[in-house]
Amino acid sequence: MTNTKVYIHEFIDIIGHNRARYMQHMTANWSPNAQEDRNQKCYGVWATLGSTGRWPEVVNLWEHDSWDELSASFGVEAVGKGAQDPKLAKWWAAAADLRRGGVDRLLEPTPWSPTIDELCAAGVSGECYAHEIIKLKGRGASEVCELMRHQAVPLAARHDWTLVGAWKTAMANDDECILLWAIPTWAKWGSFEAAQSHDPEVRAWRDGLDMVQSWQRIVLVAAPLSPLRTGRQPAREDRIDWEE
């Protein structure tokens, strides 16, 4: 099945010791409303492992059926004061105490990237995830994603890494790709990281990518209610009251 969906990708800066609360707020408090009101599915919510990237940080990824669906969602969002849905005023107020801001992107998937429903149905999961941003010297994001599919996937498969998604950044210069890998164990993560320096075949492949300007990989851990952990979308009954 060809994936023609559209995605919202978010890097969120967390205030203090609120990462667990924020991930719960996004999955159990935000996602059920978004599913009903905007047909927006939660693809995933993850904590960034601080030793590999910014901290404290959360990565969110949301799935919409099409650009038409996304534009309708934005239309719902923009009607309120401050371009925020007035129906969710209480939710926004609670979120403001947990995070200070972030950086978002809109993404278009490669045709062969599975949807979140397909991934859940297949039982895809990981003890951790590798998240990559590849910036190019010029245009060609789709072509680079294809190179990853045909060249990187076989090398990563030796260490049981699974490419679960590949996207190009929309509303940009066709010069950025985002990849997400599911990794079954921490040991498998370490083995392929070591191969980046010590495996001649992996090094030769990386050295041959002349079109790449920069390449950043961070490690993510899925939130308790993230679909790739639970195999389903978050639901209203997942809400909890935090103990002080």
Per residue, the 3-state secondary structure of 148-191, as one string, reads: HHHHHHHHHHCCCCEEEEEEEECCCCCCEEEEEEEECCHHHHHH
pLDDT for the residue numbered 80: 67
Decide if domain 6-111 falls under CATH 3.30.70.100: yes
Interacting residues of 68 by C-beta distance below 8 A, sequence separation 6+: none
End-to-end CA distance of the chain: 47
d(C-alpha 82, C-alpha 64), whole Å: 23
Return the structure tokens found at 197: 């320096």
Fold of the 116-222 domain: Alpha-Beta Plaits (3.30.70)
Domain locations in the chain?
A: 6-111, 116-222
Q: Say if 6-111 and 116-222 have the same CATH topology.
A: yes
> Above 70 in pLDDT, residue 241?
no
- Among 243, 242, 234, smallest CA distance to 28 is for 234
Q: Average of pLDDT values for 224-240?
A: 94
pLDDT band at 94 (very low <50, low <70, confident <90, very high): confident
> Above 70 in pLDDT, residue 87?
no
Q: What is the pLDDT of residues 5-54, one digit of tens each?
A: 999 999 999 999 999 999 999 999 999 999 999 999 999 999 999 999 99
Half-sphere CA count of 25, side-chain side, radius 13 A:
20
Residues found in the chain = 244
d(C-alpha 64, C-alpha 66), whole Å: 6
Longest dimension (CA), the chain: 57
Q: What is the pLDDT of residues 170-207, one digit of tens each?
A: 999 999 999 999 999 999 999 999 999 999 999 999 99
pLDDT band at 244 (very low <50, low <70, confident <90, very high): very low
pLDDT band at 243 (very low <50, low <70, confident <90, very high): very low
d(C-alpha 148, C-alpha 133), whole Å: 12
Interacting residues of 241 by C-beta distance below 8 A, sequence separation 6+: none
Q: What is the pLDDT of residues 160-172, one digit of tens each?
A: 999 999 999 999 9
